[in-house]
Chains A and B, each alone.
Chain A
Amino acid sequence: MSYFLEQVLNGLSYGLVLSLIAAGFAIVFTSTGVLNFAHGSIVLFGAYLVAVLHPTIGFWPALLVAMAGCALVGVAINALLVRHLADKNAGTAAILMLGVDIVLLTELTRRIGNKVLTLGAPWGASVVRFGDVSLPTGRVVAAGLTVVAFAALWYLFSRTDLGVGMRAAAADGPTASLMGIRLSRTAATGWALAGVLAAVAGVFLTSFPAPGVAPTVALSAFAAIPAWVLGGFDSVPGAVVGGLIIGLTSALVTGYESDLAGVVGTGFGEVAPYVVMIVVLLVRPSGLLGSKEAVRV
């Protein structure tokens, strides 16, 4: 029973990290309509910045710099590339982001090389015990910070002019523009927010029990795509729900791998999120909390 509880807590805390990334996908998608395939590389970039900077300026300042850096990269991608697409539609924008991803990831891979960089997080590899259930401290901190981050997001979107403006722009861009909301500003804010969330997620995705900062992190950030799709493409609360479900699924599948190996083979934990995603797309194409796309004739 304690093993099961441990897997569940593990899955939920991992799911919260995934939901940070998934929320980044959702915010960029609602504010600019772009499927941001470079998000995984931005997550890696955040972790890389922390790994490189923490020996000189300490962990927390490094995290702040990484958040600013990732936000800046996002804003730059939007301002320099996405806005200047010769043929503006969701498909070409997605392919453009694949190109950006190739460039970013290749450069980061070249810089990291075969090394696994350490993060220098103050919690190191310590473990917190609740009775007979133990959980990595990093995961507990992640869960706490994620809750804070989503509370801040909720406040932004429901209580501030900027957040309400962003929601209006997402709901109906041209009308919002006529009401005096500057779409370029809401778009830039969206990309910056996604970058900040990516940096935070990057830190927790690479700290214990993960070995450290390595190029494969960009791929594990891809596991947030099923979480995003599951929650609904345009919903931040959906990203949280999706992240939790995906985190739980992959933790349980990995935790009980020896029992499942006869049925689904080894290493199914990495694949399970995508199976869930395809099933969800089949029965509920707009996700659990997403809004249905209306087609007007």
Chain B
Amino acid sequence: MSELPRRIGGLVLVLVALALPLVLSDFWLQTGLFVMATAIGAVGLTLLVGVAGQLSLGHAAFAGIGAYVYTWSTGESTTTVSGAGLPPVVGLVLAAAVSALVGAAFSPVAGRLRGIYLGLATLGLVFIVRHLLVNLDQWTGGFTGRSVESFALGGFSFSNKDPDYLAVAGVEFEGLHRLWYLFLVLTLVGCWLAGNLRSGRTGRAWANVRDSETAAAAMGIGVARAKASVFVVSSAYAGVAGAMLALAYGRIAPDVFGLTASVDFLVMIVLGGLGSVGGAVVGALFVTALPLVLAEYSGSLPFLAAPGSGGLDPATTARMVYGLAIIAVLLFLRGGLAGAARRLRHRTSRTSPPSPAGPAPHDPISTDDVGRPAAVTPSRSKETTR
């Protein structure tokens, strides 16, 4: 697979994303904002879980920290809640920095534990952070939450005001349209950084720790340090994702960042394929958009019932679908959607005519990704040995 078609494909995708606000309705724009925000979080988590092999159930806790740091630092003080009134850009940087710092503070735990043990420790983080968010109500607004100041960059506001009227090609650009471009830039930068980290020296060290801590230590990698560093990086991603979620919601409450949200992040990266940046984005698209789209179109989908009636309401259906999807991916689709796409590319580029779609008639465990027996090719490439 040469690099060129990939690059062209990526460029086309970016151009499409740039043009979309011209045609999409407000509902789809809002959905897009949520997708991009969760995609950033998922990319951070795929570095931790997929590349470095450390399970985390606490990702939503860091997203919550980021969201509240942004909201507090940019908000104005009122009679009920305090705020620092800083510029939004500073707030965004602070959101990432504070999340990363909390991740670093957790590194004595993160560096010593591994795999599922770390997953259990981070499970506690979700509950502790939620408890703090509810109880520190002079900063967070307590259980009911607080509203979020809109983003602005040097006098240009990413809301419906300042400038009051802005039109591109005859389409009025309101807050949602403006935020779309801000989020697009953040998502692209986040993915690009993650891709570089993953394929660079740091990422190879992380992958080494995942495959064998003993071997990694023997090769001179500081294992505890590597585990702590990937935890900090993924926390920073979660912080940015949290700030973006806060901007997309406009109002945040502690329950948004509960265990369910953490599990959702994990579902995204497993569906997309552990360790794959593009897969994480696709997973975020699926998991975030599905319940929103089902709810929006529930009137025209006859099998959906009204919420609370005991039938299949949109939220229940969406959870059912991605619960089953994750089981199916883990049982049948090694490497998630990204792995499947890779196998498909390999097959179409090496055999002509391309074999019909469908799984190769090989045992998925004892063969490598192009369908040859693993014993024949002992040195599988790093990317395909998830």
Contacts and interface: CB of A to CB of B under 8 A. Distances in A.
Q: Determine if chain A interacts with chain B.
A: yes
Contacts of A297: 214, 218
Interface in A175-198: none
Interface stretch (B78-86, B107-115, B149-157, B159-167): B107-115
A90 interface: yes
Contact of A102 (B213, B263, B334): B263
B220 to A, nearest CB: 15
A86 B332 contact: yes
A216 B142 CA distance: 21
A107 interface: yes
A91 B116 contact: yes
B266 to A, nearest CB: 6
B231 to A, nearest CB: 14
Nearest to B324: A103
Contacts of B364: 86
Which of B213, B311, B319, B386 has the most CB atoms of chain A within a 10 A radius of its CB? B319
B117 interface: yes
Interface stretch (A143-151, A158-166, A236-244, A275-283): A275-283
Interface in A100-142: 100-103, 106-107, 109-111, 113-114
Interface string B281-306: 00000000000000000000000000
A264 B131 CA distance: 9
Nearest to B120: A229
A281 B121 contact: yes
Interface string A268-292: 1011001101100110010000000
A295 interface: yes
A98 interface: yes
B330 A99 contact: yes
B108 A282 contact: yes
Interface residues of B, number: 52
Contacts of A35: 116, 119-120
A98 B120 contact: no
Given A98-B263, A277-B121, A282 B131 contact: no
Question: B interface, by DSSP: helix, strand, loop or mixed?
Answer: helix
A278 B310 contact: no
B269 to A, nearest CB: 9
A90 B115 contact: yes
Interface in B325-347: 325-327, 330-334
A226 interface: yes
B49 interface: yes
A281 B109 contact: yes
Given A94-B55, A99-B330, A114 B308 contact: yes
B322 A102 contact: yes
Contact of B123 (A84, A85, A86, A225): A225
A172 interface: no
B323 A106 contact: yes
Given A95-B270, A274-B128, A281 B116 contact: no
A281 B115 CA distance: 13
A132 to B, nearest CB: 33
A87 interface: yes
B134 A103 contact: no
B348 interface: no
A271 B119 contact: no
Nearest to A229: B120
B135 interface: yes
A142 to B, nearest CB: 24
Contacts of B334: 86-87
Given A91-B55, A265-B134, A265-B135, A270 B330 contact: no
A113 B308 contact: yes
B230 to A, nearest CB: 14
Interface of A: 35, 81, 84-88, 90-92, 94-96, 98-103, 106-107, 109-111, 113-114, 219, 222, 225-226, 229, 233, 264-268, 270-271, 274-275, 277-278, 281-282, 285, 295, 297
Interface of B: 49, 53, 55, 108-109, 112-113, 115-117, 119-121, 123-125, 127-128, 131-132, 134-136, 213-214, 218, 259, 263, 266-267, 270, 308, 310-312, 316, 319-320, 322-327, 330-334, 364-365, 386
14 contacts: A86-B332, A99-B325, A99-B327, A99-B330, A100-B323, A102-B323, A103-B327, A225-B120, A266-B135, A267-B134, A268-B131, A271-B128, A277-B121, A278-B125
